Amino acid sequence: MLLDVQNLGVTYRMDGQEIHAVNRLSFQLQENEIFGVVGESGCGKSSLIKALLRLVARNGSVVADSVNFQGHELLQMPMEDFRKSILWQKIALVPQSAMNSLNPVYKVGPQIVEAICAHVRMSEREARTKVNDLFESVGLQKDLFDSYPHQFSGGMRQRAMIAMALALDPQLIIMDEPTTGLDVLVQDKILKTLRRIKNETHCSMMIISHDIAIMSEIATRIGVMYGGSFVEIAPTMDLFKDPSHPYTMGLTNAFPSIRELGKELISIPGSPPVMMREENKCWFEPRCPFSADGCRETFPALTMTGTNHVVSCLRSDDRQKLAKLAKEKTTWIS
Ligand SMILES: Nc1ncnc2c1ncn2[C@@H]1O[C@H](COP(=O)(O)OP(=O)(O)OP(=O)(O)O)[C@@H](O)[C@H]1O
């Protein structure tokens, strides 16, 4: 196992109030997998990755029983050790906005060379060779090495950020919405590049997206987040074949599918919660067409419903019946 997260919480304090952005969240990441994290805006995806990378804003606090990466308790390590030996070297980030992450007045290739030299003992000449190789592996022409960020298209900037993340041969690359804002053809090329890189380097990837359709293309396993926790985690095929949480059923209804051409898209009424208190209840209950006695009084633990398939729903035994009902538009209206 590469990463084991147990009971992670991220709480922000603002104007005398608390927001529980991540709440009792647990999951494991294996080696050589692409783990997709999906959920609506505000469900805590970015807070989760910021907590793993110790980048949570000053008004936020992070707690966990354990965040163990290859034997290192990440939250317990002195910050300096974490920055020196984990960040970029073992866990790298491709942030949400590639444009803002590159210095606009500095040529792209030399920026990456400088980042490499700041972290590992490597001569500038070796680092330049490495960056040229990285450009090739992410599909950027070598002559772009000496170009400025504004000379790159959105897709090229995203590739440059992926090259930067790969620079120190990390075991885990975390990507925040890597294809958002790119047109469909460029999205497709980026996804192909990511798949190839994963196969060549055997690194693991954790990809955050609000778009379950994109995840179905790239992820080997998907975690569905709602209200700061994972409500369902399953291998990608199983998640679509046997969605077990009503929120997952709703999400899969709301996206077009190449396998079900012409299917009617049904959206989930209501909006995601802002969690001002920790409460022992299912946070999806107010929007759930299948809520039952007990859903307001219990925070359902993740339980197994199949091989590597876990769900946090009191009604998971009825999932096949509910999945059928969830395909009907009237289920969500009433
Ligand atoms: N620094 C902060 N101070 C106060 N509240 C915050 C802060 N950062 C995030 N939040 C709140 O925490 C909750 C989770 O936000 P987060 O950005 O982690 O969600 P997300 O799923 O990544 O959303 P998006 O896809 O829109 O980025 C939201 O209610 C958000 O407003």
Q: Is residue 177 within 8 Å of 208, Cβ to Cβ?
A: yes
Q: Please identify, by atom number, the ligand 1 atom nearest to the C-alpha of residue 96.
A: 27
Domains, the chain, ordered by start? 3-42+59-75+205-332 (3.40.50.300)
Does 151 contact ligand 1 (Cβ within 6 A)?
A: no
Residue listed under structure tokens 């050589």? 32
Residues (pLDDT < 50) of the chain are none
Minimum CA distance residue for ligand 1 atom 1: 57
Q: What is the pLDDT of residue 98?
A: 66
Minimum CA distance residue for ligand 1 atom 30: 42
Spacing, Cα 229 to ligand 1 middle (Å):
13
Q: What is the pLDDT of residue 257?
A: 65
Does 43 contact ligand 1 (Cβ within 6 A)?
A: yes
Spacing, Cα 17 to ligand 1 middle (Å):
14
CA distances from 124 to 67, 102, 117, 118, 159 (A): 35, 19, 7, 10, 22
Q: Please identify, by atom number, the ligand 1 atom nearest to the C-alpha of residue 225.
A: 21
* 152/162 Cα distance (integer angstroms): 14
Q: Please identify, by atom number, the ligand 1 atom nearest to the C-alpha of residue 48.
A: 18
Does 21 contact ligand 1 (Cβ within 6 A)?
A: yes
Does 103 contact ligand 1 (Cβ within 6 A)?
A: no
Residue to substitute in 10, 18, 46, 271 for testing ligand 1 pocket (most ligand atoms within 8 angstroms of CB) = 46
Tokens of 280: 């022992």
Residue to substitute in 12, 17, 40, 226 for testing ligand 1 pocket (most ligand atoms within 8 angstroms of CB) = 12
Minimum CA distance residue for ligand 1 atom 7: 12
Does 145 contact ligand 1 (Cβ within 6 A)?
A: no
Residue to substitute in 10, 20, 43, 283 for testing ligand 1 pocket (most ligand atoms within 8 angstroms of CB) = 43
| Residues 56-92 pLDDT 10s | 999 999 999 999 999 999 999 999 999 999 999 999 9
The residues, ordered by sequence, that sit 6+ positions from 323 with a Cβ below 8 Å of its Cβ are 242, 243, 244, 249
Q: What is the pLDDT of residue 260?
A: 65
CA distances from 29 to 6, 194, 248, 322 (A): 12, 17, 20, 29
Q: What is the pLDDT of residue 258?
A: 57
Tokens of 205: 């990837």
Spacing, Cα 225 to ligand 1 middle (Å):
13
The residues, ordered by sequence, that sit 6+ positions from 194 with a Cβ below 8 Å of its Cβ are 34, 162, 175, 178, 205, 207, 218
* 280/294 Cα distance (integer angstroms): 10
Q: What is the pLDDT of residue 215?
A: 92
Residue closest to 43 by CA, chosen among 248, 219, 237, 183: 248
Spacing, Cα 95 to ligand 1 middle (Å):
15
Q: What is the pLDDT of residue 50?
A: 96
* Residue 205 dihedral angles phi and psi, to the nearest 5°: -130, 145
